[in-house]
Amino acid sequence: MSFVVVFNLVLTILTAITGLVWLLDKFWLAGRRGAGPTADKPAPPPGAIVDFCVSLFPVIFAVFVLRSFVVEPFRIPSGSMIPTLYPGDFILVNKFGYGLRCPVGSCKLVDIGEPKRGDVVVFRYPARSEADPNFGNDFIKRVIGVPGDHLQYIDKVLTVNGQKVEVQPAGVFPEDSISQRFMEDLNGVRHNILENPGQPSPNVDLIVPAGRYFMMGDNRDGSNDSRYWGFVPEQNLKGRAILIWMSWDGGPALSRFGRLIR
């Protein structure tokens, strides 16, 4: 079980416990304390445990609501989304854009919207067994194919539903002087991608099934994505990446603070 799953479970349990104590104190215990005292005998204070839970509940409830249903922080762990996202970028993930989900588990409470081609999405890796080294991990990639799409990725040329995705050369990537940088226009979303001319890539020719999504990293030859392990089920989606709020990898990268993710 990953740290994120454990944290969400603990946060949910703490919210439930402190909330229950808060309700008991507000509607029962406080009344019992106030029934006995007189002017000469003030009401006794609540016990230490009750006082702690009552004080903690508003804070932990706010964190629970924000993290579960509004935004969740996420740290980029690898270079699979370079040049859009770098290792050490701290991002915010919109948790309600694709529907409100249960704080623990994958059930959907309210259906609001669906991912679109070009969205940058955080999702739970679709491991088939706990023996998979990525079991329980969160990944971040770009949505390339939505249900019903016919995708072809042949010799590093992407075609969606028979239409070639346009790319324009954007020069050599300065950080390694090998990778080629391109501007890709995917469903009207213009973003940079990287390709390594000397590195082969698996070819793809498939139709995306219902309830599934095809994901690829912007670092096309440095990404472990749907080309290798298949589709992402809808219930594994966690939210859309919207903002880099901080970037720190050995030091602050101030120029990346506050960038919108496209």
Residues with catalytic roles: 80, 141
The length of the chain in residues reads 262
What is residue 29's DSSP assignment? I
Helix H or strand E segment including 39: none
73 sits in which H/E element = strand 71-75
CA–CA separation, 140 vs 122, rounded Å? 4
Q: H/E element holding 164?
A: strand 163-164
Distances (CA, A) of 26 to 32, 98, 256: 10, 36, 46
In the beta sheet, which residues pair with residue 219? 194
